Structure formats: structure tokens, C-alpha cells
Amino acid sequence: MSEFQNIGLIGRTESSSAVMSLTRLMAFLEKEGYAIVLEEETSTAVRHSARISPRDKLGELCDLVIVVGGDGSLLSAARALAKFSVPLLGINRGRLGFLTDITPDEVEQKVGEVLAGKYMAESRFLLDMSVSRNGSLVANGSALNDVVLHPGEFIRMIEFDLFIDGQFVYTQRSDGLIISTPTGSTAYALSGGGPIMHPKLDAIVLVPLNPHTLSSRPIVVEGSSEFELIIGEQNITKPYVTCDGHDQVITKPGDRIRIHKKPHRLTLIHPLEHNFYGICRSKLGWAGGA
């Protein structure tokens, strides 16, 4: 008997191709005798008689959650479900697919292998973010990829102080800062000139966005580090903070943004042949060897 009996499903409902793959996956799971629990919004896009659950309750009901969509869909599921320690498996119906690595034409084969115990599990950490104003908490969020400070609606240089583990690092004037996990190192941080980090690394990278000095470069620090950004009092604009491109917060001069590793880790499930370097070759256009 499979260790996974109750299977939660989350689909990218605005994508017709994702809905097609979701319907195909449901037919396979029902045929094999698995209990399906559909995420509430996902349930509106398919015909079914399955149990329905709000997203934030799936982790209590399921042994495995399968996400049908792109990396953005999996990031959203990860933020909601990490606290439950329920593993996630991704079927790619997006573009790059660094996290959702099963292709639509191999759904039955690869999902069947995973359910039969033929898979590899990978642990990833997330970041917690909070914004304080005059000593009071005004917003918080979490991210699997990155927390980003940026100018928001207007393209203007912003000024902020950076502290790591209570030690002053620098006052920077730039378009902002990307604080990224290894998972996010192949996303926005890579576009900003940051290094690619292997997912197993316990490290965090800070990537300045267009800094107003040629000497400012990405910094890689240990994963247990705690960060504090203090928004400069002289800023004309009000910088934004986003977590994985969501949970947008508009800051004010003097606000303190604190970021640290989340206590709960995410377990990603991959097919046995999953290979990080192979994915980089495929998704980033690296040259193949013999």
C-alpha cells in the first residue's frame, strides 16, 4: 500500500491546459483508488464528486499535495502548506518549471512511480518577513524564493541600511535588494546578477538591484542569518516589499524590515531521475556534453 492515500490537488484554474492535466490526473487517481481532496478554488474548474477543502486546511487532510501549474502555483502552495509538513509534487503547466518537474505527457507514469514509493524527497527552507513601524508590527509574509525591497510604482533610487545578525553592513542607495533562498537563486536573483546556489545549501544570497556604486556585489551568508533593513528617512518615494512577488507591503521612512529563516521546512517530491544540473542545462540553455 502506498504511503500516500489522501491526495490533495491544486490547479492553475485560469489555464485551460492546466485544467486538462488536472482532469487527466484525477481520472488516473480515481482509477487507482486514491482519495482526492480538491482545493476550494480548484474545485470550481473541474467536474467532480471529490471532497473540497480550503487551501490552508489541505495540509491537515492530505498525505501528499500535487500542484498542476507553473512555479508560481507551487510557490503559492508552499507558502500556505509548509507549516503542515505535507510534501508537494509539481506537474509543469507553466514556463520554466524549475520546481514543477513532471511534464504533462508523463502524468500517469511519473505520478504512478511516486505513489509506488519511487521518488526522491528534497527539503527546502522558506523566509519569514515582517515590517515594523514605530515599534508596532504592520505586516508580515513568507517566501520560498525571495523577499524583495524595490521602488514600487516609481523608478527612483531608494536608500536603506542593512544589518546582518545585528552588525551594520552598509547604507545603500539602489533600486532595492533581493534576499533569496537557494530555491530562488534561479529566479529573480539570477536576473539581478546573483549566483546559482544548489538547493541543498544552507545559505542566503543578497543581490543589490542597480546599486549606485560599482563596488556593491551580491553577498552569500549562512542560512541562519537574521537581516534587518531600515528604510532611510530621506526617501521621497515609499519602497515596496514583496514575498515571491506577492504579499505586497508599502513601507514608510524609518520602517524596519526583518527577515529570517522560517522554522518550518518544505518537502518537495521529485521523480527518481531528477537532476538539478540537468534542469539547469534544460531551462537555462547550458550546453550539453557527451
Residues 6+ positions from 3 with CB-CB distance below 8 Å = 63, 117
Radius of gyration of the chain (CA): 20
Match 514509493 to its residue by C-alpha cell. 117
Catalytic residue among 56, 71, 128, 255: 71
In the residue annotation, 255 being an active-site residue is answered as: no
Alpha helix segments (H runs only) across the chain: 16-31, 40-43, 58-61, 71-81, 107-115, 188-191, 276-284
The residues carrying an active-site annotation are 71
